[in-house]
Each structure stands twice: as structure tokens, then as C-alpha cells.
Structure 1
Amino acid sequence: MISEHSRFLLTQILLLIFSFLMLWNFFDVGGTIDLQLIYPFIDDQGQFPLRQHWALAELNHRYVKNLLILVYITLLAGWLVSLKWQNWHQRRWEFGYFFSMVVLTTASIGILKSQSAHACPWDMIIPTHEGILWDLSATAGHCFPGGHASSGFALMAGYFVYRIANRKRAYFFLIAALILGFAMGWAQMMRGAHFLSHNLWTGWITWCMNVMGYTLFSHKLPLANHPMHMNIRQP
């Protein structure tokens, strides 16, 4: 009889395969869906008027990202404390794994992005008297996948950390990851920095890496809630 753990992993793998096929077949980078969704943010001169908008360029691209970085630094601090304080010792994998997956996923997206030849939408537009043309072969580079959205999607690790120990907390992190990842990615799309497909692939890669990490280390993750202060008594 298949265990709940094996069933969960099998479901995740099937969903990853299905979503990969959906992305590969229906969300081409610079394809029809990408272009239709980004057109409303382009003016008649082929520019993105919202490119320097404060709420998108500063609030979203800077402050929200910095706030998430602070959350991730807090996880690192929790892990360091768990190594020193006996009361927190049982939480070292909780914090350490969470932080490690955040670093691993965001760094991987950053590396892929740095090696990519895909240009940003704002570098692909060619204004003409007849309208706008797209140079989808442009190689200004470093725009795929969406790096900014990865900061939000990285919270997905929390779902895998707490899916057994605390379902409510697990779903909080999952929902927060999806909302922040898509919102941060969409704001970048409005600025002309990314297509929707860039951010969808960011989410998929982050999800895939979390499934792989969970497959390898789920036996180390908490199976029950650990109170912040525990009285450890010797028999």
C-alpha cells in the first residue's frame, strides 16, 4: 500500500510534468499570450510609461524585495540561534532547510538569468509609423527567467517545511508565495521588464527545486509543532 508521503510526491511530480507541458506548449516566451497581456502597458511611441512609476520601480522592485530579504535573514538568525540555544535545538532543520531552499532557488534563478540571451520586452520594441514591431531575436540579454518574482516564490519552501507539522502555516506560506511571486512579476511586466512567461517559468523552477529538496530531506523536517520554549528534562 502506497504511503501518504509517496502519494504526495507522486502527485507533485505529475503536477510538475503537466504544468511543464502547459508552459511549453501554451506560454512561449514572447508568444501570443505574452504579447497580448503586455500591449496595454505600451504607449503609441513604443514606450512603457510605467517603467519609472514609483509604486512599481521603487515600492515593488526595492522595498518589497528588501522586506522579503529581511524575512529570510530572520530565518538565518533562527537557524544560528538553534545551534547555540538548547531550547531551539530541535528547530535547526526547520530554519536551516527553509533558509537553504530560499538561497538555492533564488540563486539558481539568478544564475539562469545571468546566462540567458533573452532580452527584456522594453528592448524588443521597434516603433514604426504603422505601429509596433517586436524583435523577438533581440539579445540584450539577462531577462529570463524573472529574477524579481523569485524573491516572492521562494516562500514556497515554507509549505514543504510545515506541510506535516502545521498545515495552516504551510498553506499561509504557499498562498503568500503565489500572491507575492505573481504580483511582483506582474508589476515587472507592467514596467516592460518581463513577459508573463518569464515569471511563470520562475515559479515552475522554484516549485520543481522545492519538490527535489523535499524528496531528499523530508525525513529531517518537523513532524509536529515545537513550542518556542521547551523544558528538556533528563529522566
Structure 2
Amino acid sequence: MVAVLVLLWDASGLDVVVMGGFADANGFALRHNWWLERVFHDGARQLAVVLFLGLWLTVWRPLGWMASISRLERLEIAIGISLSLLLVSGIKRYSLSSCPWDLQTYGGYAQYLSHWAWGLKDGGSGHCFPGGHASAAFAYLALPLPWLLSTSMTKQQRGQRILWGVLVAGMLLGATQTLRGAHYPSHTLWSGMLCWLTALANHQIFAMLGQSRRSTRLA
């Protein structure tokens, strides 16, 4: 369902329409807005680094509600987040799509090309797809899974709260970059979908690992 919505957005052409609402031939007026640039971009990025390192620490020294799940589940979360970050940054590294603020329409030097135009250069610097900043939050879609998929109603409710928190944070960071002209809305949607699929795949692998360990103990 998520993939269908993302593809429908891609097909709609709304990326260009939305970006045109925040810019003119001189560029994006909010590109260097103090709140967007210093707080929601630079500050959020620094906070994301601290949270990431802290999360890895809780694998071995759990605090609060992290202590309510097993070490294997905590490791699952940490690895799931890491894999999502690596996937998004890896795609960005080889992407030829430039950022909206690089387009000639907005005072730059690149021509607009869809990120589906694989292998075609748009004349810009590229490396802009998908949204890296949004992935700093969306990568944490791996966080709620041990609770969401638990048989305990209390844990499921906690997982739902965490899930909504991550989604709101991801959309907020994505919107920040859209307002500044750094990313199309589709870049944010793709980051969210890629992180979600990565989290689910990672969870399945750890679920099989956990089942294997339990079977070994019973043998």
C-alpha cells in the first residue's frame, strides 16, 4: 500500500508543482531561514548522531523501556537503523538527480529530470535522491517493531506511539528540506518507504534467528 501511494505521487507530477510554491527565479526564500537551517537541519542532524550512538549503547546497557525487550531485539533495532541509513546514503551516492535549488528554473544550472530517468545527467551536482535528512528519522522505523509485533497489548500500544513519533519526525525533517529547496516531497516519501521495507526485512531475519536459537535450546 505504501509503495502504491509513493508511485502514485511520482506519477502525479506534483513534485514540480509543490516546489514552485516555495520559489521563484531567484531561488528559495527559506533556504537560509534560521529555524529551518540551523535548528531543524543542523540541530536535528547533531541530535540524530547523539541518539544513534546512545541507541547502540543501550544494546548492552538498556535504560527505561528498552530494558523491557531482549538484547537480541535491541540489537535488531540498532542494526535495522544502521542498515536504513546505509541504504539511503548508498543510493544518494550514485544518484544523478540534483536538488530542486540547483534547477535553472530557480536560479541554478540543472534541468529537471525525474529520478526515474536512470543514467541520465541533469547538468547539476546530483546525489540528491532520496532524502537523506528525512532518513535520520525514518531509519528509526526499526525501533517500534519489537513492541508492535508483540502479543502483549500494552507493548503494541507503546509500539504504535513510537511509530507515530518516528513518522511525524521524518515528515517534519522532510518538510524542512522541501521548504528550503533541498528535496522534492517524493524524496521524503521514498526515504520513508525504503527505511520501512529495510526495517521489516531486518525484523524477519532476526525473527528467524530468534526461532533458531529457541529451537537449539529445546533440542
The answer to whether 1:159 aligns with 2:148 is no
Which of 99, 103, 112 is residue 82 of structure 2 equivalent to?
103
Normalised TM-score (structure 1): 0.74
* 1:96-175 aligned within 5 A: 96-126=75-105, 135-137=111-113, 138=122, 139-163=124-148, 164=150, 166-175=155-164
Q: CA deviation at 1:142?
A: 0.5
The answer to whether 1:52 aligns with 2:3 is no
1:214–1:126 distance in 2 versus 1, CA, 3 Å? same
- Taking only the aligned residue pairs, the percentage that are identical comes to 26
Alpha-carbon displacement from aligned partner over 1:143-193 (angstroms, at most 9, x marks no partner): 000000001111211221211151122112210111011110011001100
Normalised TM-score (structure 2): 0.79
3-state SS of paired residue (1:184) = helix
Q: CA deviation at 1:21?
A: 3.1
State the partner residue of 2:215.
Answer: none
Give unpaired runs (5+ residues) of structure 2: 114-121, 211-219
The answer to whether 1:27 aligns with 2:10 is yes
Which 4+ stretches in 1 moved above 4 angstroms? none
Bigger-Rg structure (1/2)? 1
Q: Is the 8 A contact 2:97 2:128 kept in 1?
A: yes
Counterpart CA distance in 2 for 1:181 and 1:26 is: 17
Give unpaired runs (5+ residues) of structure 1: 1-17, 83-87, 222-235
Q: Is the 8 A contact 2:89 2:132 kept in 1?
A: yes
Counterpart CA distance in 2 for 1:151 and 1:144 is: 14
Q: Is the 8 A contact 2:81 2:199 kept in 1?
A: no
Q: Is the 8 A contact 1:93 1:220 kept in 2?
A: no
1:49–1:213 distance in 2 versus 1, CA, 3 Å? same
